[in-house]
Structure 1
């Protein structure tokens, strides 16, 4: 059985403002209707594949399970990383967990934010590498390069792949992201592939590789798994032990040192969506090379990407060439297409000035649904709150604010101190400062309400939780 290992903790700052630390690109429908995470999970499902094992962080744990359910897939284990330590500790944690449950199993490690249009072709490439992996090889997948790309690492083969048929080939070395001249030379040689960061190996082979090439990771990661705490079906890795693991990629820690490496070429289309230029390439374009999305209109434009991510916001481009324009409710990006990789500089600049748009998404996703701020003043805030069917917020109180709730869709079950009542559309309820309260959706359809907060402090960390069906602790998200 092949266990898909989905790495799901990155922030994707080069796709700001759609991708942010609080809600990164893997959870967004960047290409098509499904999110990148859902498409990745579906691509690695079906006959021969176990349920996906996901590594993510605490803030994303319920988003992961919600999106898997939305794709009709059951999650396997979900391991919660206390902090990001790069891919080597994450892969090792997955291997150590599988050693306890399926020690003879296979692991297919993949980022959860890549685009592979031909899922069947990718599964065929996996099948082509399976025998080598079962024989103890560490198999990686190399993408046929389409251009002299400087944003990817490369894999140098001992021979040209010729027809690029999926079969294990010998790897000579890993090559770091090159300069333009080197990239052009490698493309011309025909013996280089893009490094996709996707791996197939047995549990025992990768554990042996870690013991040989990165033994310093074994103790802290092993302790983090062994001392992990179950939490509503998740496994929280032990934070103290995890902090002792080096922050290092699996390429540096293991792959560049190992000798039992094979590469399977893949020619079925692939992108890591590492910038808005990549999104432009993967999006359907008109005869002038213009890609539009949402409420976007292009007039006399060429080779440009125009996106509106708000149904109430129209984006219009006139006479643009080689321009990226992406509009969110709270932020707009306009950039020359050749500077797409520099978007992360904008995020750094926004962080430096303290702008919440640098990291915070307009919709704040929670296990029960989501909310967004509609208006904010010195002593008031207006929110729209969406609660999934059957979901419930925690039983809580606030030190600094009172609240009015007006139900606009569905029915809310509302607790205020000792009183429990049903509040239907066009009805409202007042929550005094300090009152112990909870909101639930007892129905079969989403419940939406408008919340008006008033008080001296309106931060999300002004929450005292008494009960919570999602077992969250104190703090803004718990």
Structure 2
């Protein structure tokens, strides 16, 4: 039976701010072991049986960042395909787009396994076994949701109620869904013995899924079909389908749970126990780090005195704690977050406030990613901005022009190929050039190592939107 893992990588993970940003969301965060959740999810999906391709549904702006992560796992045994969302419309739209995409290539009998990209699962063998059981249930005509055997009364998870009088293979038909209950309700659910945490992992037959969406969520299906039919497809290193923005914007902003799973009579829950962790807060993240003798969990250069049970992540500078306990301290280059462990879920409210005030720290780090590499703003002031630019081997910035700023480029390491109006030149280490405002220009790295240069911008307006693209290797808008 054809199985297509669908990696869902659309959330921001706002509870893990300031490391998680909209342009550097939770799946890309480096974990204490040096890996990230996106690559772990890709490996977990690749290791399953009878997988013929892997489909990733993600934001359009994250395509190249995702491809870079996947290429670190090369060579993959199966091809990767992408569905790109120009706007966020929640999981119902994402799952529907994935189902339509898979049905078009593999037919209505194919099965899809929906995997959030931001979950940590330790036991691959148990996970693989659970997927095989789910496939059997799907072949019997059910939508399967993976229920995690609860270990405590958690209020940050949704719950699935199982009808133990209606067994389906090694699972049960569902009787209800409870969204993030209060503590007392969660305790009652645990004591009932028939409830499971809602993992957000699903297995479907795409033909049955599409028929059920037509019954229970017709507007979602209709608008996503339009977005698929009006898409623009491009071939880069993999097959990429970009959904039509206007059509997708009309899609109801609703989760697959609300749109379908809570309405359908075809839903069954498979009880699972494979060391699942959605790492939904800094408190959960801290549990991945070993304790010292005082119960502190520390990453980076940290000195403590008479302090206990704290979690500190400070990779770029010295952090000290004196006489405190139960704190979470997260230090990045442009933001510092301090919270009590009991309020770790409240970080999301800070992000909401940052969005309302249009503060840039909700959106991106000082170091930003581009298809060609990265840039970091080192300093800026009146009429000037200084950046460090790193261009990957073979990478190329667009042929572009700025109306309001001029740029000085100094090569720190590597070789730069520069187009400056009608001139073309190669710059070696310690060489420089000047790009006058209004000149068409392009920067490329023809070498085998990273090109690193310092860019000094000068002008009355230095916004990132002062750019006119004439040609771009990565299909970005002019």
More divergent stretch after superposition (215-224 vs 389-398): 215-224
Match of 1:187 among 178, 182, 190: 190
Question: Which digits, 9 at most, give the CA deviation of each residue in 1:93-141, with x for residues without a partner?
Answer: 1111111111121100011111112223212211121111122111111
CA distance in 2, matches of 1:10, 1:393: 28
CA distance in 1, matches of 2:446, 2:144: 49
More divergent stretch after superposition (343-352 vs 89-98): 343-352
2:80 corresponds to 1:76: yes
- Secondary structure of the 2:411 match is strand
2:140 corresponds to 1:135: yes
Q: Is the 8 A contact 1:411 1:422 kept in 2?
A: yes
In structure 1, the residue matched to 2:412 is: 408
2:294 corresponds to 1:291: no
CA distance in 2, matches of 1:206, 1:53: 17
2:93 corresponds to 1:89: yes
Match of 2:159 among 143, 148, 154: 154
Aligned positions of 1:10-49 closer than 5 A:
10-46=11-47, 47-49=49-51
Aligned positions of 1:275-424 closer than 5 A:
275-310=281-316, 313-424=317-428
CA distance in 2, matches of 1:248, 1:391: 38
2:218 corresponds to 1:215: yes
2:475 corresponds to 1:471: yes
Label 1:403 to 1:43 Cα distance change in 2 as closer, same or farther (>3 A): same
2:254 corresponds to 1:248: yes
Aligned positions of 1:50-61 closer than 5 A:
50-61=52-63
Q: Is the 8 A contact 1:292 1:298 kept in 2?
A: no
Aligned-residue RMSD, C-alpha: 1.8
Q: Is the 8 A contact 2:52 2:79 kept in 1?
A: no
Q: Is the 8 A contact 1:297 1:306 kept in 2?
A: no
Residue 288 of structure 1, CA deviation: 3.2
CA distance in 2, matches of 1:253, 1:145: 25
Q: Is the 8 A contact 1:294 1:307 kept in 2?
A: yes
- Secondary structure of the 1:294 match is strand
CA distance in 2, matches of 1:114, 1:213: 28
Aligned positions of 1:104-183 closer than 5 A:
104-159=109-164, 167-183=170-186
CA distance in 2, matches of 1:213, 1:351: 33
CA distance in 2, matches of 1:298, 1:391: 44
Residue 160 of structure 1, CA deviation: 10
Label 1:376 to 1:469 Cα distance change in 2 as closer, same or farther (>3 A): same
Structure 1: state its 5+ residue gaps.
none
TM-score (norm 1): 0.94
Question: Which digits, 9 at most, give the CA deviation of each residue in 1:210-235, with x for residues without a partner?
Answer: 12211222221111111211133421
Residue 203 of structure 1, CA deviation: 1.0
- Greater percentage in strand: 2
* Count of aligned pairs between the two proteins: 468
